[in-house]
Amino acid sequence: MTLGLLLLQFVLCALLIARAGYMLCVSADRIAQATGLSRGWVGLALLATVTSLPELASGISAVTVVDAPNLAVGNALGACVFNLLFLVAIDALQRHQPIYQRASSAHLLSAAFGVVMLGFVTMSLVLASDAPALLHLGLYSPVLLALYLLALRSVFAHERAMKLPDIAAAPGTPPEPHREVGPFLMAAAVVLAAGTWLPSLGDEMAQARAWSRCFVGTLFMAFVTTLPEMAVTLSALRLGALDMAFGNLLGSNLFNVMILAVDDAFYRRGPLLADAEPVHAGTAVAAIVMTGLVMIGLVMRPQGRVLRVLSWVSVGLVAAYLMHVTLLALA
């Protein structure tokens, strides 16, 4: 298959995922209104989970169909980096003031859990085959799953303790929940179907251009599979729900790291991270650094902008991303 045809299919996947991501946002917002859940919680748990379906489908397909652990690991960790980079675009769009001035401090907790989970992944990648294992699973898998569930429970309890306002309420008669489930599931199915198509395309592109699977997984596949997060985030901004957008991106990162535990269960040749290239540890470290910058921004609440465009936190995020891409290209 020619590279042009592969790129055309890649673009088609991107368009399908982007459109379905927007539909997910609309349906999830109506479900939030119907059930009384806050938009912040919907963004962190429901939307973040569903918009990460491409990463989940791509990862499982990569380790079962293509037998490419580097594609699976690169996609999951690269998606985390792209999610954090997209905060720069949000900051640029909110011209009246930096996003860190308005975002809730409750996001610090989900960001902190993300740092801990990424830290476990980094250690496992560095230790590689020396890391402890349980049957064909790495010991990190149950740890990541437990941390993810603990993060959801802790953030929910923290928001209730802070008594954050429910911004999902809207005037008029709320929609009926059962009428919104159908469109929501249809959009999720499109995302899942397109996501299963990506690994084969990524692998063929890597072979056609002699690119490493690490490069394709961390950059190309990671970018396309984060399109639902981007579409949902932009839709949330149009609704005036900045915290929903923030929660979606940070919650998606939590889910993406947890996906590595799911991929590990489907990978039968041993612990997944033991067969992954050490270069992925650099991607995990980049995500940790970028998450740390976001946490600093949520605490310091920067007011000024560099060249009247971006806050200094966003400039730092761009610098960290460019450094990561440079090191990845040289690896």
Q: Which residues pair with 137 in a beta bridge?
A: 134
Please tell me which of 15-24, 38-47, 87-96, 238-247 the model is most confident about, judged by mean pLDDT: 87-96
What pLDDT, on a 0 to 100 scale, did the predictor assign at position 168? 45
| Position 161 pLDDT exceeds 70 | yes
Rounded (to 5) percent helix, strand, coil in the chain: 80, 0, 20
| CATH number of the domain residue 10 falls in | 1.20.1420.30
Work out how many domains the chain is built from and give that number. Answer: 1
Secondary structure (DSSP) of 77-133:
HHHHHHHHHHHHHHHHH-TTS-HHHHS-TTHHHHHHHHHHHHHHHHHHHHHGGGS-E
- What is the distance between the alpha carbons of residues 39 and 244, in angstroms, rounded to a whole number? 5
Residue 325 maps to a domain: yes
What pLDDT, on a 0 to 100 scale, did the predictor assign at position 169? 47
Domain span holding position 292: 3-165+180-330
According to DSSP, residue 37 is labeled -
Residue 94 maps to a domain: yes
Three-state DSSP state, 68: coil
Residue 216 maps to a domain: yes
Residue 174 maps to a domain: no
Residue 172 maps to a domain: no
Residues 273, 121 contacting (CB under 8 angstroms)? yes
Residue 173 maps to a domain: no
Element (H, E) at 138: strand 137-138
Tell me the pTM: 0.85
What pLDDT, on a 0 to 100 scale, did the predictor assign at position 96? 79
pLDDT in tens, 278-326: 889 999 999 999 999 999 999 999 888 887 788 999 999 999 999 998 9
Pairing, β 137-138 against β 133-134: antiparallel
Residue type, 262: V
Residue 61 maps to a domain: yes
What pLDDT, on a 0 to 100 scale, did the predictor assign at position 97? 80
Q: Which residues pair with 134 in a beta bridge?
A: 137
Three-state DSSP state, 134: strand
Residue 45 maps to a domain: yes
Q: Tell me the pLDDT of the chain averaged across its residues.
A: 83
What value does the mean pLDDT take over residues 89-113? 88
pLDDT in tens, 12-61: 877 887 788 778 777 877 877 777 666 667 777 888 888 788 788 888 88
